């Protein structure tokens, strides 16, 4: 397997680097670095997306015909890597990677014209309404109903763990349109305006003290029938298509490389017995092991991106990447916090994160956001499908068990 970049890819990397140097505002990257990447939020993310849009780079994963870059998988990987190195905010995965491909693959032309351009321009924030209080791993048992009355669906039910719903303009929901057939066959994919009467968003505060998650209540919400994507009863298939994209994107290689670099920074800055922790044998052993694991994960992702043939089912491969990627994220965050010791406990107020001039002098910049990331990384092995569920998928699809 040869992973040397071609001349064109090297030139592309330089172009991305130059663009980031000239266009990523210092305040944006400073703030993005201090917040855990799940916490970047609407304002920071959409502000950055608008800048990317001015260059035509706001949708790296979309085909050109819909306003995407039309880049190869390798170009996308390089772009993402450079963005992480520069400290750019995360892209809005819910809109760009999850709902948009469903809309341009299964939606009507009218839906594509209505919904895709605002995503490209960074004008809208989307949330994903799949999970319910009694339907997470077992998503097919979801109970939110949508009954067709004339030219509207009347939606009733509740969704939970809905990330970013508090700021969302739109949500894509899996709803039950038919309870007479097999569970999977009665599910449909509906786009709902989050400002519709009957939609209530109740915050759930995470273990890191931040507000990212919510419970969404839908009480007799009237949704125009033309906001149904694809065919009624095919929502399960569209949801599976979407979740496969989510899992492939959830390998977290570039965030892990970024966090590994931060780990190195901490280990160089923190001292024990007059020497940087980097020189401590116990620490270097743990660091080296993680660095090797991150590199192995990167090579596995590159093998997928460069189209290496495999006998394994693509969904099983995506699950392996998700399994390892989320596990590594947790291990790196754990070591960062171990190294920082009590410094990791320094809490940062939103004002301190937002205003660089107010940043405290009692602790190094690299300590910012570490505890928050450590705590929120606990969720990486749950969202997008838990570790146990991924293992079940691998056992079934890769090994036929």
Ligand X SMILES: Cc1cc2nc3c(=O)[nH]c(=O)nc-3n(C[C@H](O)[C@H](O)[C@H](O)COP(=O)(O)OP(=O)(O)OC[C@H]3O[C@@H](n4cnc5c(N)ncnc54)[C@H](O)[C@@H]3O)c2cc1C
Q: Which of 58, 128, 227, 372 binds ligand X (CB under 6 A)?
A: 128
What residues are annotated to the active site? 246
Q: Does 235 bind ligand X (CB under 6 A)?
A: no
Q: Rounded to whole angstroms, what are the CA distances from 228 to 46, 120, 195?
A: 26, 21, 17
Q: Does 200 bind ligand X (CB under 6 A)?
A: no
CA distance 29 to 352: 15
* Residue 96 vs 379, nearer CB to ligand X: 379
Q: Which of 154, 225, 302, 389 binds ligand X (CB under 6 A)?
A: 389
* Residue 266 vs 323, nearer CB to ligand X: 323
Query: Which candidate, 368, 369, 331, 341, places its Cα nearest to that of 208?
Result: 369
H, E, C per residue of 162-231: CCCHHHCCEEEEEEECCCCCCHHHHEEEEEEECCCCCEEEEEEECCCCCEEEEEEEEEEEEEEHHHEECC
Tokens read off for 83: 């963005």
Name which of residues 209 to 228 contact ligand X (CB under 6 A): 213
Q: Give the interface segment with ligand X, choosing from 54-62, 129-137, 175-183, 283-291 (CB under 6 A).
A: 129-137
Q: Give the interface segment with ligand X, choosing from 20-28, 131-139, 260-268, 353-361 (CB under 6 A).
A: 131-139
* Residue 277 vs 379, nearer CB to ligand X: 379
Q: Does 383 bind ligand X (CB under 6 A)?
A: yes
* Residue 61 vs 131, nearer CB to ligand X: 131
Residues in the interface with ligand X (CB under 6 A) total 18
Q: Does 196 bind ligand X (CB under 6 A)?
A: no
CA distance 113 to 66: 9
Q: Does 130 bind ligand X (CB under 6 A)?
A: yes
**What x-and-dash track marks residues 153-192 binding ligand X by CB under 6 A?**
--------xxx-----------------------------
Q: Does 232 bind ligand X (CB under 6 A)?
A: no
Q: Does 136 bind ligand X (CB under 6 A)?
A: yes
Query: Which candidate, 48, 59, 62, places its Cα nearest to that of 20?
Result: 48
Q: Give the interface segment with ligand X, choosing from 58-66, 150-158, 355-363, 383-391 (CB under 6 A).
A: 383-391
Q: Does 388 bind ligand X (CB under 6 A)?
A: yes
* Residue 75 vs 390, nearer CB to ligand X: 390
* Residue 1 CB contacts under 8 Å (≥ 6 apart), including other chains: 299, 302, 303, 306, 308
For the chain, state the CA radius of gyration.
Answer: 22
Q: For the CB of residue 98, give the shortest distance to ligand X in the complex, in Å.
A: 9
Q: Does 386 bind ligand X (CB under 6 A)?
A: yes
Q: Does 379 bind ligand X (CB under 6 A)?
A: yes
* Residue 275 CB contacts under 8 Å (≥ 6 apart), including other chains: none
Q: Does 141 bind ligand X (CB under 6 A)?
A: no
Residue 313, classified by CB atoms within 10 Å of its CB into exposed (0-12), middle (13-18) or buried (19+), is middle
Q: Does 374 bind ligand X (CB under 6 A)?
A: no
* Residue 54 vs 137, nearer CB to ligand X: 137
* Residue 306 vs 330, nearer CB to ligand X: 330
**What x-and-dash track marks residues 61-100 binding ligand X by CB under 6 A?**
----------------------------------------
Question: Could you give the dihedral angle defined by the CA atoms of residues 392, 394, 395 and 398, in that order, rounded to the nearest 10 degrees?
Answer: 150
Q: For the CB of residue 163, give the shortest distance to ligand X in the complex, in Å.
A: 4
Residues that bind ligand X (CB under 6 A): 128-131, 136-137, 161-163, 213, 379, 382-383, 385-386, 388-389, 392
């Amino acid at each position: 397997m040869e992973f040397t970049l071609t001349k064109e890819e090297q030139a592309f990397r330089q172009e991305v680097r130059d663009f980031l140097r000239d266009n990523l505002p210092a305040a944006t990257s400073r703030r993005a670095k201090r917040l855990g990447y799940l916490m970047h939020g609407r304002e920071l993310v959409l502000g950055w997306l608008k800048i990317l849009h001015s260059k035509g780079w706001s949708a790296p994963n979309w085909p050109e015909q819909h306003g995407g870059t039309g880049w190869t998988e390798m170009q996308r990987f390089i772009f993402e890597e450079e963005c992480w190195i520069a400290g750019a905010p995360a892209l809005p995965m819910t809109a760009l990677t999850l709902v948009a491909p469903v809309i341009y693959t299964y939606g009507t032309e009218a839906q594509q014209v209505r919904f895709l351009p605002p995503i490209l321009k960074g004008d809208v924030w989307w949330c994903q309404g799949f999970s319910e209080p009694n339907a997470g791993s077992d998503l097919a048992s979801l109970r939110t109903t949508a009954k067709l009355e004339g030219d509207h669906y009347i939606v009733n039910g509740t969704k939970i763990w809905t990330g970013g719903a508090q700021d969302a303009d739109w949500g894509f929901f899996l709803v039950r349109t038919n309870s007479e057939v097999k569970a999977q066959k009665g599910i449909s994919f509906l786009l709902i305006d989050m400002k519709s009467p009957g939609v209530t968003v109740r915050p759930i505060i995470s273990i890191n003290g931040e507000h990212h998650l919510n419970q969404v209540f839908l009480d007799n919400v009237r949704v125009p029938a033309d906001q149904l994507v694809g065919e009624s009863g095919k929502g399960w298939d569209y949801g599976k298509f979407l979740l496969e994209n989510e899992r492939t994107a959830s390998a977290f290689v570039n965030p892990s490389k970024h966090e590994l670099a931060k780990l190195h920074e901490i280990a160089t800055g923190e001292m024990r017995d007059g020497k940087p922790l980097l020189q401590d044998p116990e620490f270097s052993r743990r660091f080296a092991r993680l660095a090797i694991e991150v590199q192995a994960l990167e090579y596995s992702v590159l093998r997928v991106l460069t189209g290496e043939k495999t006998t394994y089912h693509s969904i099983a491969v995506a699950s392996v990447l998700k399994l390892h990627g989320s596990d590594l994220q947790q291990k790196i965050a754990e070591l960062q916090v171990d190294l920082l010791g009590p410094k990791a406990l320094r809490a940062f107020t939103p004002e301190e994160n937002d205003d660089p001039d107010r940043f405290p002098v009692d602790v190094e910049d690299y300590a910012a956001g570490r505890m928050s990331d450590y705590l929120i990384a606990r969720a990486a092995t749950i969202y997008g499908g838990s570790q146990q569920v991924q293992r079940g998928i691998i056992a079934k699809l890769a090994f036929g068990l």
